[in-house]
Structure 1
Amino acid sequence: MIMGLLFWLSVAFIFYVYLGYPVLVAAGAMALGRREPSSGAAGCPSVTLLICAYNEREVIRTKLENSLALDYPAGRLQILVVTDGSNDGTPDLVAQYAHRGVELLHKPQREGKMAAIDRAMALARGEIVVFSDANNFYDPGTLRELVKPFADATVGAATGAKRIMKGDGALGDSEGLYWRYESFIKRMESRLGSCVSVAGEILALRRELFRRPSTGIINDDFYLAMHVLGQGHRLVYVPQAISRERVSPTQADEVHRRARIVAGRWQSMFLAPAILTWKRPLLVWQFVSHKFFRPLIPLAMIMALITNLLAVALPGEVQSGSLLRLSGYWAFGAMLAQAGFYLLAAAGTLLPSRGMLGKLLYLPRFLVASNWAAVVGLLGFIGGGQGHLWIRAPRREGLARHSREG
């Protein structure tokens, strides 16, 4: 009985996180009859576009040209680039844009992105600060769309849509599918009042709501978003504000990136009680279901596999098989289903990722790789091996090509 109970609880948990929670959020939003958060005219508040660039010589020119070409009044836009620790010539390239109004903040020592943001905020003049990276590109009207929700005084932060550029094979297609899935959840959460997930490369917040961070923060964007919500304000999703970028060069790079995010997620779990409040139970439920349950999925997958193996190794009578007890043919059927899923993931690793078959096989591979990254992130957090300094991944060739995502 205990094996079957643990197995079905694990399976139910996985389905709740991936499917149940999005369905409940969507149902709640539709039941309340709420539409998209207000995007009424907010005018053109002064904006600081804060770009963090560590050794980004390859892309920084393209990023700055993209930023200078945005459809926003030049007199209302401050472009501030912080390049702390860069030693590849990035600060020199940024300095060449001083005559076009781009401001540079640099020091030789590298103390992490959160420390760089903290230093830069002292020089930010905009009412709204938009945080961006060097390797993502905004559509021309992104800033105008991103600031519209701030016409509502209850809105403290806004995040836009992350789109993956075409041309990077099945890895890019899978990442693009994942971000469309995340986009749906954010839209539904915003209809309920506030979303709890942000894309750090397109995050806007009221400058007055910024709180100096503690040292060693891994996920700066999630930390900033939690603090805005902890102060009683709302965080909304703006799908019309679009940021485009390319996927990591290899699956290994993607695993490393996700492992860091998960380590930061575990760190945030321990920080959350001091920031969030039970006076907003809906928001707490959203955080737990959307952000804090995700790193637990691989543990549930492992539990489902172990209990299924034990149920097969210690079977009951096949003829008297019980679904709840996971005995008899139910145990063998569940084992075949799990084995099939992992075999498909393996096939997706071994076979070329081109064509329809390769793309279909890449989805189970993507899910397994993502959850393996969560295990790596957990181990890194426990062992203290995941520091707050990001090890920069190599960029794909042709990153500067501003291709479109379908």
Structure 2
Amino acid sequence: MLHYLLFLCLGILAYTYAGYGILITVLAKIRSLLKPARSVIDGNTYTPQVTLLIRAHNKMTCLPAKLQNLYSLNYPADKLSFLFMTEGSTDGSTDWLESLRDDGAQQIMVQGGSKQGGNIPSVNRAMKYVTSPIVIFCDATTQLNSLAIRNLARHFQDERIGAAVGEKRIGNYLHEPAGVWGERLYGTYESYLNRQDAQFHTVVGATSGLLAIRTALYEPVQADTLLDDFLISMRIAGKGYRVTYEPDAYTLERPPFSIEEEQKRTVSIATGRFQSVIRLRHLVNIACYGWLSFQFISRRVLCWAVAPFCLPIIWLINLVLIFPGKSQTSLPLFWVISFVIQCVFYGLAYTGYRLQQKGRRIKALQLPLYITFINVCAIQGFVHFWRDKTSGIWKKTRRSNDIELQTS
């Protein structure tokens, strides 16, 4: 019986991390041959009114650079407005932005207030003031590429598109702090899967921090929601609209300051993933949602809520199997070898973690460290979710603002 459970866990891991990627690539290719995608209109000729909804609670240190970035965007100024959410800020963010508006910066709108009720209530209130047909969600800590708005907005010429997802990139720094390896490695594979998902049917939710939607499709989400972009985009997909992917619209952000900061952020994300899977559980009904259910189960349910537990289960079962039964006179060699391999793997991961804490990185240790790190954080996230520690207020992660960007 234990053998079957072990091989089941191995099968889930293989499908989650490799099998689905291969399968969706084949399905996307078949679909493109049978039903070519509709061509996307040039962003130079289709420029609807757009509002950028910017999360900016206590982000005064980021706002000057953010505004400089926003004003440099390649999009008609008369069709672009910026709505900053600064509720509860105590660092002067609200006053500074309002002073700019008083000085004639008509593109700027500010949703202030002395009390921070959480990210989601702030978003729900801000959406009441959005009058443009398209709204884009982003953070004050990120920088957008020049053509990001054009490249996102052009997709909405297609009436089947309900949302468009951009990409997140981590900047190159002269002295990169710990944690960058994880985000870059995961982001590369995530981007590839997004591209294949979109070509086949739909992107399975926004996870990049850059999301554009049709304003009319927005529905207020629960106040304690952690992954609001993901939940918003998946609900739109559940209505029958497609969520497409735009790799040429991306955010550039600084990496976490340390591996401890990366761990705090990753655990918060993992908590939100379990929360999202539960709240979107109706999407597993293949009879109602068809291909969306297949993608949601494969890409999110298995990857986020099942696979993280497979590694410790495999280790524990293997530990039991190395002990001989009453009729055996020697240890089963296969299980001994596999157990030793796992122990060496986790030993390398722990060594890499300790070196990261001291500011040292060895490339050979990055893969075992990354795989172990994200799964440990996922289990910690499950514990947080199970204990109902979600407050709806995202824990701030310290990022490397004091490290110079490498331009070459």
Q: TM-score, normalised by structure 1?
A: 0.91
CA distance in 2: counterparts of 1:273 and 1:362, whole angstroms: 34
CA spacing shift, 1:145–1:356, aligned 2, 3 Å: farther
1:156 aligns with 2:162: yes
1:376 aligns with 2:355: no
Match among 287, 299, 306 for residue 309 of structure 2: 299
Partner of 1:398: 402
Letter in 2 for 1:232: G
CA distance in 2: counterparts of 1:277 and 1:304, whole angstroms: 29
CA spacing shift, 1:23–1:318, aligned 2, 3 Å: farther
345-354 vs 50-59, which moves further: 345-354
Partner of 2:42: 41
1:266 aligns with 2:270: no
Shift of residue 351 of structure 1?
A: 3.2
Partner of 1:210: 218
Per-residue Cα deviation, 1:78-136 (whole angstroms, up to 9, x for no partner): 11101111111111222233122211111111111111111111111221100000111
1:341 aligns with 2:345: yes
Partner of 2:368: 364
Letter in 2 for 1:386: T
Match among 111, 116, 136 for residue 110 of structure 1: 116
Letter in 2 for 1:282: W
Partner of 1:91: 94
Match among 100, 118, 122 for residue 105 of structure 2: 100
Q: Is the 8 A contact 1:377 1:386 kept in 2?
A: no
Shift of residue 214 of structure 1?
A: 2.6
Structure 1 segments unaligned to the other structure (5+ residues): 320-326
Q: TM-score, normalised by structure 2?
A: 0.91
Q: Is the 8 A contact 1:53 1:81 kept in 2?
A: yes
After superposition, the CA RMSD in angstroms is 2.4
CA spacing shift, 1:352–1:257, aligned 2, 3 Å: closer
Q: Is the 8 A contact 1:49 1:131 kept in 2?
A: yes
Q: Is the 8 A contact 1:229 1:276 kept in 2?
A: no
Structure 2 segments unaligned to the other structure (5+ residues): none
3-state SS in 2 of match to 1:212: coil
1:5-404 residue pairs with structure 2 within 5 A?
5-33=4-32, 38-41=39-42, 43-98=46-101, 99-101=104-106, 102-167=108-173, 168-169=176-177, 171-274=179-282, 278=286, 279-295=288-304, 296-314=306-324, 317=328, 328-351=332-355, 358-398=362-402
Letter in 1 for 2:137: F
3-state SS in 1 of match to 2:129: coil
Q: Is the 8 A contact 2:254 2:401 kept in 1?
A: no
Partner of 1:324: none
178-187 vs 10-19, which moves further: 10-19
Q: Is the 8 A contact 1:186 1:195 kept in 2?
A: yes
CA distance in 2: counterparts of 1:201 and 1:93, whole angstroms: 24
Per-residue Cα deviation, 1:42-80 (whole angstroms, up to 9, x for no partner): 600100011011111211111111111100000000111
Letter in 2 for 1:342: Y
Aligned residues: 396
